Structure 1
Amino acid sequence: MLKITNLTKLYGSQAAVDNLSFEAKKGEILGFLGPNGAGKSTTMKIATCYMAASSGNVEVGGINVAERPKAVRQKIGYLPEHNPLYLDMYVKEYLAFMGKFYGVTGNLLKTRIKEVIELVKLERESHKQLRQLSKGYRQRVGLAQALLHDPEVLILDEPTTGLDPNQIVEIRNVIKSISAEKTIIFSTHIMQEVQALCDRVVIINKGKKVLDTSIDKLNDKLKTELNQNEYVLNLEIEKPILETEWQQIEGISKVEISQNEPTKVKLFTQSDLRREIFLYAAKNEWVLLEMQQQTQSLENIFHQLTK
């Protein structure tokens, strides 16, 4: 388990992390979200002993990171946002080099290298020099080194950066397959990834926690808000149309027309009026280029909490 209590990191008078508290349990994948500069990477660097906190505590498996950093490092696997690799090394050579830092040697090291290469699907590239690999395969090497010593806690800072859609699915499957026996902190900017992969989500903004909930509760919240709130339709039309013209359609409660793009219109209704709007537009010879119903989503909640 990873437990963060009242964590603060100051740079002069500015708080990069501001009295932050949350915990992640064994068998849980926690989505750790926030806009750029929110304090995510700083939090993860403190948790992995790369950086000291100004105040507060971080514990990994009951061990305080400030008091026993060496013991904590044995329990944590870390893939940072900017994956540092020795590009002159070959894949297996690099993994062997990193394994020795974790105290993994001999036949156990050879076995673990083989296992993690198979796990992240690096077999075809394992004979290559790291500089010869694409960014996506370099990310896989980074994930392999984070898993090499079979850590209890895995901290992944945007691990799918640079991967193509097929590779993203493969890495998701790897993370899911090992999650039962580990605590996984997963940072990403891809909201669909969080909903597809994570059990819980923590969102921070300007160093402060603004949301901490399970994905199940979040999905229930999204459904409730979708049922209770008004419908929102985003339209694009060929030529600008006055607000008073839109108000002639019964059931429209509000109209927003973009001043910068007068052909972009947002309609607020209490029921689904897509058919009525389409027919009214056709009757008046208005050309609808696009009509899309806006729904509540994790992305919308993220915007609301961090804007």
Structure 2
Amino acid sequence: MSIEVLNLTKLYGPQKAVDAISFSAKKGEILGFLGPNGAGKSTTMKIATGYLGATSGSVEIEGIDIERNPLEAKKKIGYLPEHNPLYLDMYIHEFLAFTGKINQMKSSEMKNGVKRVVEMCGLTLEQNKKIGQLSKGYRQRVGLAQALLHDPPVLILDEPTTGLDPNQILEIRRLIKEVSKDKTVIFSSHIMQEVEALCDRVVLINKGRLIADKPIAEFSKGSTGEAMLRVEFKVPIDTAPLAAIEEVLEVSEIQPGIYKLKVKESEAARSAVFKLAGESNLPLVGLQEEESSFDEIFHLLTKEN
């Protein structure tokens, strides 16, 4: 695995910001790292990049422990923090050369690297400007360029599209998708549609604890076992028999003849609806399961008990 997080814990006095979480990510994978504000996402990312120390547990980058061998591990990481730290008085080329020196790149390697990331991040037309003259979207591109400059195998991106307009968001998404082909990407975002569009897997934390870790397709189905069925009849019916089905938790009318059923054990509930329609001679014309939206699943998994 390119990234291995094992029993990671971070304490601030009696408060557990991160509570014994474990997950991993492999090359070519975009891992969506989700959670509400204060869940511990940024703390985890800062520990993974060596910016913060852990109270206990470990993080390995390409097999290198970030705490025991921080310099070697950091060479493998490209990091874009939530608040993109840039020197506004520097020109783009000047800033990228500066970050190349910090990463101990050789002069020839750095020159080629700067040219590569300027083109890759769409900065060619802006490359002779000072960073302070750039829009928010272009500043984010500069942040991505510095993270990519030394061609690291691991990218850690904390809210990379914050404050961008829809066109800029699409451009940054495209770039992340492109560079992920031969890298491991941990991607934090509050925008559920963005996670659904970009990520292969989702890790969800809440109050410092791991809540879910599953492929994006499985996450979209939720984890409670509950489902929503849309049932349509030719004519309006008495909903009492539907509500009486053992697997049905709730019945609501969308419009005359069309009903939404909140159920447990979707397959059994569908069989029971078909059986009811046949035995009661109800004119059933449609029955389908509806997937919950990412927003609904996120809320369900992170809501207060």
Over residues 182-210 of structure 1, what are the superposed CA-to-partner deviations in whole Å (9 max), with x where a residue is unaligned? 11000000001111110000000000000
- How far apart, CA to CA, are the structure 2 residues paired with 1:23 and 1:103? 28
Question: Residue 52 of structure 1 corresponds to which residue in structure 2?
Answer: 53
> In the alignment, residue 229 of structure 1 is paired with which amino acid?
M
Over residues 213-255 of structure 1, what are the superposed CA-to-partner deviations in whole Å (9 max), with x where a residue is unaligned? 0012224x259978x43559xxxxxxxxxxxxxxx9843889x
CA deviation after TM superposition for structure 1 residue 105, in Å? 2.9
- How far apart, CA to CA, are the structure 2 residues paired with 1:118 and 1:14? 45
Q: Conserved in 1, the CA contact under 8 Å of 2:201 and 2:213?
A: yes
> In the alignment, residue 41 of structure 2 is paired with which amino acid?
K
Residue 44 of structure 2 is aligned to residue 63 of structure 1:
no
Q: Conserved in 2, the CA contact under 8 Å of 1:32 and 1:203?
A: yes
Question: Residue 251 of structure 1 corresponds to which residue in structure 2?
Answer: 239
Question: Residue 42 of structure 1 corresponds to which residue in structure 2?
Answer: 43
Give the 3 Å change call, closer, same or farther, for CA 204–64 of structure 1 in structure 2.
same
- How far apart, CA to CA, are the structure 2 residues paired with 1:51 and 1:20? 16
Any residues of structure 2 matched to 1:222-301 within 5 Å, and which?
A: 228-230=227-229, 250-251=238-239, 268-269=251-252, 273-274=254-255, 276=257, 296-301=292-297
- How far apart, CA to CA, are the structure 1 residues paired with 2:182 and 2:53? 28
- SS state of the match for residue 6, structure 1? strand
Question: Residue 15 of structure 1 corresponds to which residue in structure 2?
Answer: 16
CA deviation after TM superposition for structure 1 residue 148, in Å? 0.3
Could you tell me which runs of 5 or more consecutive residues in structure 1 were left unpaired when the two chains were aligned.
233-247, 255-266, 278-293
CA RMSD of aligned residues (A): 2.6
Paired positions, count: 262
- How far apart, CA to CA, are the structure 1 residues paired with 2:31 and 2:157? 10
Question: Residue 135 of structure 1 corresponds to which residue in structure 2?
Answer: 136
Question: Residue 115 of structure 1 corresponds to which residue in structure 2?
Answer: 116
Scaled by the length of structure 2, the TM-score of the pair is: 0.80
Question: Residue 291 of structure 1 corresponds to which residue in structure 2?
Answer: none
- How far apart, CA to CA, are the structure 2 residues paired with 1:218 and 1:93? 43
> In the alignment, residue 126 of structure 2 is paired with which amino acid?
E
- How far apart, CA to CA, are the structure 1 residues paired with 2:224 and 2:20? 31
Q: Conserved in 2, the CA contact under 8 Å of 1:6 and 1:55?
A: yes
Moved more, 171-180 or 37-46: 171-180
Scaled by the length of structure 1, the TM-score of the pair is: 0.79
> In the alignment, residue 300 of structure 1 is paired with which amino acid?
E
Q: Conserved in 2, the CA contact under 8 Å of 1:77 and 1:146?
A: yes
Q: Percent of pairs identical after alignment?
A: 59
- How far apart, CA to CA, are the structure 2 residues paired with 1:187 and 1:69? 22
- How far apart, CA to CA, are the structure 2 residues paired with 1:149 and 1:100? 10
Give the 3 Å change call, closer, same or farther, for CA 110–298 of structure 1 in structure 2.
same
> In the alignment, residue 58 of structure 2 is paired with which amino acid?
N
Any residues of structure 2 matched to 1:182-201 within 5 Å, and which?
A: 182-201=183-202
Question: Residue 175 of structure 1 corresponds to which residue in structure 2?
Answer: 176
Q: Conserved in 1, the CA contact under 8 Å of 2:228 and 2:291?
A: no
Could you tell me which runs of 5 or more consecutive residues in structure 2 were left unpaired when the two chains were aligned.
244-249, 259-289
Question: Residue 302 of structure 2 corresponds to which residue in structure 1?
Answer: 306
- How far apart, CA to CA, are the structure 2 residues paired with 1:92 and 1:298? 40
- How far apart, CA to CA, are the structure 2 residues paired with 1:222 and 1:301? 6
Give the 3 Å change call, closer, same or farther, for CA 223–71 of structure 1 in structure 2.
closer
> In the alignment, residue 299 of structure 1 is paired with which amino acid?
D
CA deviation after TM superposition for structure 1 residue 127, in Å? 1.1
Q: Conserved in 2, the CA contact under 8 Å of 1:139 and 1:161?
A: no
